[in-house]
Structure 1
Amino acid sequence: MTLSQATRSPGTLRDAAAAADPLDQQAADLLRGTDAVRTRAHALLSRARQGESIWFSVHDEALAETAALVAKVTRERYPDLNIPYHSRWRHFEAGGVNRLAWLNALLGSASPAEKARTHIDLALVSVLLDAGAGPDWSYQEAGGGPGNAPAVYARSEGLGVASFHAFMAGLFSSDHDHPLQADAVGLQRVTAETLGAAFQVSERNPLVGLEGRAALLRRLGEVMAANPAVFNAPVKSGAASISSVPAFMARPGGLFDLLMTQKNGQVQAHDILSALLAHLSPIWPAQNRIGAIALGDCWRHPGVDGPGRSHGWMPFHKLSQWLTYSLLEPFEWAGVTVTGLDALTGLPEYRNGGLLLDAGVLQPRASVPTSRAWQAGDEFIVEWRALTVALLDELAPRVRDVLGLTPAQMPLACVLEGGTWAAGRVLARRLREGGTPPLNIVSDGTVF
């Protein structure tokens, strides 16, 4: 993502969308649902099984052993099989530290709705900062280890812990009296320098895609400020008593109020995703588009069929779905019933996809130069991600069978957590020094 793409004004994108060709809009709307993700991913898997892929062969005989590994890792991590959702909140628990309790203690007697808004603020911003960190970055948490010794975290755990402390320090808030929030003005003030300082970035501790991450947060702030009907949340208790303070402030947590005004104490998981895709679409890089409409995490592949102008596009919406998984618990903690979890798909990223490669379920063709540096839009990577989505759907029931659990007891969100992501890391560490992914993907901090 270039800086010019990252800082393009939301108004420009909205004006372009308003003038979009109706057929372009129809195609974009189709690509924003998980039905399109699943249908197209499974079609590419069927095509690969028929030997029509130039990139991969599929070895179904390896699925049973892979399921057994995932089940084994799940039992080791959760012996009682009480498996939480795969979400950003697991990274906030890195090192066995209950950081959520720290946050909730500071929130004190805040209402369930206000706690939910704060939890959503934290989770949404943290997920947007969660693209791959690269192999050379880590974060040192003071007093996070045994005996209050410093603890060092890398990769996803490091990004989670670093973003948690940045949030607690008020980096994303414009109100010094209320640091525990992310708001439109505060997010627009984030720079690569301020974010880098919070994440302990230096020449000796480089973080991949730092500018892209900071730009994404600024874009989020701009979009929220331009859409108060969607993002406005009541100001925190006490602040509204000052006449110059408005009654509402644009925050990610405003999504809680938006969705709760439409529902009666319950929400479907796909409704959360739909809200994110509808209202956050302007923040994503604009290189993938149909006409004037930016598509986000949606990529070209010649083997993908579809109606109209959606033909040839393979959607994923990985970060939006990861964010949806990470918002399930804030809604539930506020007493909201979340239904339809399995409408979401598996996440096509390098741990889940790496599991399938390292376990031999997917094998690149001999002619594929797997050691080269790949871009997110390369056909090989697009197909790998699509096959990952489809194969996770097939792997999930096999894992449940091994563990003796039902889909209700172990929805896909729990299979991922138990699970496939952790097993991917186990195999990576077994096969490569440092547990690096099996493929080298150039990241700008917005996809992987």
Structure 2
Amino acid sequence: MNKKIPEIITYLRTPEAIRERCNRIFNLACQDQLNNFRIDLTQLDKCANYVINIIYDRYPTLNIPFHSRWQHFQVGDIPRLAELDQMLAGLTPVEKAKVKFDLAIISVLLDAGAGANWQYTEPETGLIFSRSEGLAVCSFRLFCQGFFSSNPDFPWQADTRGLSQIDVQTLTQGFQVSPENPLVGLEGRLELLQRLGQVLNQNSQLFGIDSPRPGNMVDYLWQNQAIEEGRRKKVSPLPPFERGGSRRKDCLWTQTPNNFQHRVDGGVLNPPQNRKDKEVIKATLVLNTVLEGLGDIWPGRSTISGINLGDVWPHSLLKSDRLGDEYIPFHKLSQWLTYSLLEPLQELGLNIIGLDDLTGLAEYRNGGLFIDMELIKIKNPLIVQQQHLPGSEIIVEWRALTISLLDKVAQVIQEKLNLNASELPLVKVLQGGTWTAGRKIAKELRKDGAPPIKIKSDGTVF
């Protein structure tokens, strides 16, 4: 039995497990064996056409970016990322990537649904934003001001000491929260930040030793993709080292002032961004690193052998004698974060492969689209009149059906546009795409633009 425990935990952290478990729920829905929902695939074509129209409205040339946090930072046509690049102009490319990792990770952890009554007024522009865009702009401005950093000379980071200094009062002020401007799940967001600060100290391999920060995962990812490439090409891995990174004692490489890496035996390695031939990195390696490094920050979740499973929830219809069979993984924020870390890695000179190994995101905009387009049909009308916790079987079923339907609608969209999965991967369908379609139809059907099912959120799932 003990050998099975680590195997099932490892499996539940994979996109394969997400799809397999969600498809089991989907098949039950198709057989009308779920308590809360049924599926009507006759609406699939209508839903795909609705999304395609939105894709062409937003991206007429189909030059669609990844579905990631970086798109939200540009809301209001304000060039905030250009502002950030100007601030970071004196840094090396690897250090810039670390800064962007810090920013993306902090912003995504703060990205759970804000509720319909919260908004953020950006002091720099006077513009007002709400929901996910408001959270993005707010976290961006706080990050650039050094809100998450303990080093006044280097504000563009999130480190253990900086995170430990944040309390309810400072977070309330930073997010402009008041009785008239309530933010859903404020305490849950604070708990995530505090847990992140603790986790950074517990994994020096990922986060560094001297000044642990999320951005030091850049070193780890480069090193591990180099190990994979080294095995394939039968050459030695060539990990980079930068300020704030952790060194391995068995490595032959040292950092020099001109940012070239010199071997102890006299050889020279140009930084990866200066190479003509780009290295590759698997999207699943990034996800696995996120799940390994950040898994312990999620509060109050199911565990196996004392290990926190994260965004993984049981469903009674899947339970069997096999350990962990009842659990359905979603890893929504972890995959949203993974998508958001890919662009800094691309800027560093890495090609991302295996994008479609990742799944869609089990959140209420994608899921709301499928209910509002009648692909998912609600059996009991009382469901839409009540609030539901993330662990309720109503929400678990809804999220599982969403994952399976995202794959199906993406395939139909690809066929209609005569594009293959490499040309239009799922991550671009989401951005194009289903998330915006879910928000649009929600506004068309409900005055407040809320999702069709009410979720009682603590700020750590949605």
| Both structures adopt the same fold (TM-score exceeding 0.5) | yes
- Letter aligned with residue 100 of structure 2: H
Two-structure CA RMSD over aligned residues (Å): 1.5
Which residue does the alignment assign to 2:22?
A: 41
The answer on whether the counterparts of 1:191 and 1:215 sit within 8 Å (CA) in structure 2 is no
Which residue does the alignment assign to 1:185?
A: 161
Q: Quote how far apart the aligned CAs of 1:317 are.
A: 0.6
The answer on whether the counterparts of 1:286 and 1:295 sit within 8 Å (CA) in structure 2 is no
1:47-66 matches, within 5 Å, as 47-66=28-47
The superposition leaves residues 125-145 of structure 1 with CA deviations (integer Å, 9 ceiling, x where unpaired) of 00000000011100011343x
Gapped regions of structure 2 (runs ≥ 5): 227-278
Q: Is 1:402 the counterpart of 2:420 in the alignment?
A: no
Which residue does the alignment assign to 1:147?
A: none
Task: Output the CA distance in 2 between the equivalents of 1:306 and 1:77.
Answer: 46
**More off after superposition, 401-410 vs 331-340:** 401-410
Q: Is 1:155 the counterpart of 2:115 in the alignment?
A: no
Task: Output the CA distance in 2 between the equivalents of 1:251 and 1:379.
Answer: 36
Correspondent of 1:229 among 176, 194, 205: 205
Report how many residues are paired: 410
The superposition leaves residues 194-234 of structure 1 with CA deviations (integer Å, 9 ceiling, x where unpaired) of 1121111111111111111011111101110222221018x
Task: Output the CA distance in 2 between the equivalents of 1:275 and 1:306.
Answer: 30
Task: Output the CA distance in 1 between the equivalents of 2:90 and 2:455.
Answer: 45
- Letter aligned with residue 62 of structure 1: Q
The answer on whether the counterparts of 2:383 and 2:453 sit within 8 Å (CA) in structure 1 is no
Task: Output the CA distance in 2 between the equivalents of 1:336 and 1:194.
Answer: 37
Task: Output the CA distance in 2 between the equivalents of 1:130 and 1:309.
Answer: 32
Q: Is 1:218 the counterpart of 2:194 in the alignment?
A: yes
Q: Helix, strand or coil: the match of 1:134? A: coil
The answer on whether the counterparts of 2:184 and 2:458 sit within 8 Å (CA) in structure 1 is yes
Which residue does the alignment assign to 2:461?
A: 447
- Letter aligned with residue 228 of structure 1: S
CA pair 197-31 structure 1, distance change in 2 beyond 3 A: same
1:104-183 matches, within 5 Å, as 104-144=85-125, 150-183=126-159
1:236-275 matches, within 5 Å, as 248-264=210-226, 265-275=279-289
Q: Quote how far apart the aligned CAs of 1:172 are.
A: 0.4
The answer on whether the counterparts of 1:267 and 1:339 sit within 8 Å (CA) in structure 2 is yes
1:381-392 matches, within 5 Å, as 381-392=395-406
Q: Helix, strand or coil: the match of 1:388? A: helix
Task: Output the CA distance in 2 between the equivalents of 1:322 and 1:287.
Answer: 19
The superposition leaves residues 133-174 of structure 1 with CA deviations (integer Å, 9 ceiling, x where unpaired) of 011100011343xxxxx1110000000000000101100000
The answer on whether the counterparts of 1:290 and 1:309 sit within 8 Å (CA) in structure 2 is no
Task: Output the CA distance in 2 between the equivalents of 1:227 and 1:186.
Answer: 17
TM-score (norm 2): 0.86
Task: Output the CA distance in 1 between the equivalents of 2:22 and 2:191.
Answer: 30
Task: Output the CA distance in 1 between the equivalents of 2:22 and 2:71.
Answer: 27
1:302-321 matches, within 5 Å, as 302-304=316-318, 308-321=322-335
Task: Output the CA distance in 1 between the equivalents of 2:53 and 2:19.
Answer: 27
Q: Helix, strand or coil: the match of 1:310? A: coil
Q: Is 1:425 the counterpart of 2:439 in the alignment?
A: yes
TM-score (norm 1): 0.89
Task: Output the CA distance in 1 between the equivalents of 2:383 and 2:200.
Answer: 43
Q: Is 1:75 the counterpart of 2:56 in the alignment?
A: yes
Q: Is 1:283 the counterpart of 2:297 in the alignment?
A: yes
Task: Output the CA distance in 1 between the equivalents of 2:127 and 2:205.
Answer: 42
CA pair 389-45 structure 1, distance change in 2 beyond 3 A: same
Q: Helix, strand or coil: the match of 2:201? A: helix
Correspondent of 2:375 among 332, 357, 361: 361
Task: Output the CA distance in 1 between the equivalents of 2:455 and 2:149.
Answer: 33
Q: Is 1:339 the counterpart of 2:353 in the alignment?
A: yes
Q: Helix, strand or coil: the match of 1:296? A: coil
Q: Quote how far apart the aligned CAs of 1:21 are.
A: 4.8
Task: Output the CA distance in 2 between the equivalents of 1:72 and 1:311.
Answer: 39
Q: Quote how far apart the aligned CAs of 1:369 are.
A: 2.8
The answer on whether the counterparts of 2:301 and 2:311 sit within 8 Å (CA) in structure 1 is no
Gapped regions of structure 1 (runs ≥ 5): 1-19, 145-149, 234-247
The superposition leaves residues 336-358 of structure 1 with CA deviations (integer Å, 9 ceiling, x where unpaired) of 11111011100010000000000
Q: Quote how far apart the aligned CAs of 1:255 are.
A: 0.6
Which of the pair has the greater relative contact order for Cα pairs under 8 Å at 6+ separation?
Answer: 1
The answer on whether the counterparts of 2:38 and 2:379 sit within 8 Å (CA) in structure 1 is yes
Q: Helix, strand or coil: the match of 1:267? A: strand
Correspondent of 1:202 among 171, 178, 184: 178
Q: Quote how far apart the aligned CAs of 1:305 are.
A: 5.7
Q: Helix, strand or coil: the match of 1:203? A: coil
Q: Helix, strand or coil: the match of 1:309? A: coil
The superposition leaves residues 384-405 of structure 1 with CA deviations (integer Å, 9 ceiling, x where unpaired) of 0000000100000111223332
Task: Output the CA distance in 1 between the equivalents of 2:310 and 2:320.
Answer: 18
- Letter aligned with residue 33 of structure 1: T
Task: Output the CA distance in 2 between the equivalents of 1:132 and 1:385.
Answer: 15
- Letter aligned with residue 388 of structure 1: T
Percent same amino acid among aligned pairs?
45
The superposition leaves residues 262-300 of structure 1 with CA deviations (integer Å, 9 ceiling, x where unpaired) of 223321111000011112111111331124121111001
CA pair 306-111 structure 1, distance change in 2 beyond 3 A: farther
Q: Helix, strand or coil: the match of 1:435? A: coil
The answer on whether the counterparts of 1:42 and 1:387 sit within 8 Å (CA) in structure 2 is yes
